Amino acid sequence: MPVTVILRGVNGPERSSSDEPQGDPWHSFGYITAGVGLYGLIGFLLDRWLGTHFLVAVGIIAGAAFGIYMTWSRFNKPHQPKQPPYDDKT
């Protein structure tokens, strides 16, 4: 018989503890912003090093795509019910 743990916060409503990701929009904002910033910077540095003018745009688009993918993979996990630990006391 599975046991659900209820956490009672001082300032917040009751919620059950689980490993499921929460739907916080700041996570997706952070993933996309960090991807655009990091890969845009890498593209900028490669542009300066190679003497080109297009890699910064490629880096920004790739960073946005990776950020969207990270958001999708974090929040689109299939629900798997937890199984109780195996007890071999028979």
Decide if 16 is inside a domain.
no
Rounded CA separation 27/21 (Å): 10
Regarding predicted confidence, which is higher, 88 or 44? Answer: 44
pLDDT at 25: 84
pTM summary value: 0.61
- Give domain status of residue 25, yes or no: no
Domain-embedded: residue 40: yes
Give the whole-angstrom CA distance, residue 25 versus residue 82: 26
51: left (phi over 0), alpha (psi -120 to 50) or beta: left
- Give the residue numbers spanning the domain of 50: 35-76
CA–CA separation, 36 vs 56, rounded Å? Answer: 10
User: Is 89 part of a structural domain of the chain?
Assistant: no
Host H or E run for residue 6: strand 6-7
Give the pLDDT mean for 83-87.
69
Q: Is the pLDDT of residue 13 over 60?
A: no
- Structural domains of the chain, count: 1
In a domain, 23, yes or no: no
Band of residue 84 on the pLDDT scale cut at 50, 70, 90 = low
What's the number of CA atoms in the CB half-sphere (13 Å) around residue 57?
A: 3
Does 3 map to a domain?
Answer: no
